[in-house]
């Protein structure tokens, strides 16, 4: 991955988009080679936070053939990012469990494991998601989402004509 990333970055002729495209190719490489099950490794954060070392590593390969330094940098990026990602996944699973427990106590009439999974599938939820999951009909889904907002789990926002319900805890986890 490190070698192909260097090669792409050093020969790609465009001044804009190299980094983003190269980082996407990294993830696709890991998935294609079955080193990553799903593309959830966000290497961009590490590379952006360590931009000076990133460009110095690229330059060192070009000017001095220092491949070891470059490969170690990329391995550090993967290791660091994997740790952060695993921590976020653990936090999300814990938040889902805690949300389920809150629903069992505060809203036992609407609690279901499927409902908790739907509101944690994306950072936002809408009535349609509940109907597609066969949890409730459209009108009832709206009532459920309002009850989840009243319980402090979701926060509604208007986006155009649509009302979305943000999962406050999941958004906080993803922001970190």
**pLDDT of 9-48, one tens digit each?**
888 656 666 777 888 899 999 999 999 998 888 898 899 9
* pLDDT on residue 42: 87
List, in order, residues 6 or more apart from 176 with CB less than 8 Å away.
Answer: 88
Greater confidence (143 vs 12) lies with: 143
* Geometric angle at alpha carbon 152, from 146 and 158, rounded to 5°: 50
* pLDDT on residue 14: 62
* pLDDT on residue 149: 97
Nearest to 111 by CA among 131, 121, 97: 97
* pLDDT on residue 13: 57
Each residue of 127-142: b (16+ CB within 10 Å) or e? bebbbeeebbeeeebb
* pLDDT on residue 83: 95
Average pLDDT, the chain: 93
* pLDDT on residue 39: 87
DSSP calls for 147-172: HHHHTTSEEEEEETTEEEEEEHHHHH
* pLDDT on residue 22: 83
Q: Is the pLDDT of residue 166 over 60?
A: yes
**pLDDT of 50-94, one tens digit each?**
999 999 999 999 999 999 999 999 999 999 999 999 999 999 999
Greater confidence (146 vs 16) lies with: 146
Greater confidence (157 vs 16) lies with: 157
């Amino acid at each position: 991955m490190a070698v192909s990333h260097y090669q792409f970055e050093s020969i790609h002729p465009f001044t804009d988009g190299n980094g983003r495209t190269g980082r996407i190719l990294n993830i696709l490489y890991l998935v294609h080679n079955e080193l990553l099950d799903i593309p959830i490794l966000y290497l961009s954060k590490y590379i952006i936070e360590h931009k000076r070392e990133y460009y110095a590593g690229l330059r060192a390969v070009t000017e001095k053939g220092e491949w070891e330094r470059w490969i170690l940098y990329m391995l550090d990026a993967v290791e660091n990012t994997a740790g952060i990602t695993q921590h976020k996944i653990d936090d999300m699973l814990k938040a889902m469990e805690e949300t389920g427990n809150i629903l069992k106590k505060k809203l036992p009439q609407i609690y279901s494991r499927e409902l908790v999974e739907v509101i944690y599938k994306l950072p936002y939820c809408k009535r349609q998601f509940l109907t597609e999951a066969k949890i409730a009909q459209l009108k009832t889904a709206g009532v459920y989402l309002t009850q989840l907002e009243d319980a402090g789990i979701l926060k509604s926002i208007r986006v155009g004509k649509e009302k979305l319900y943000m999962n406050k805890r999941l958004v906080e986890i993803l922001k970190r």
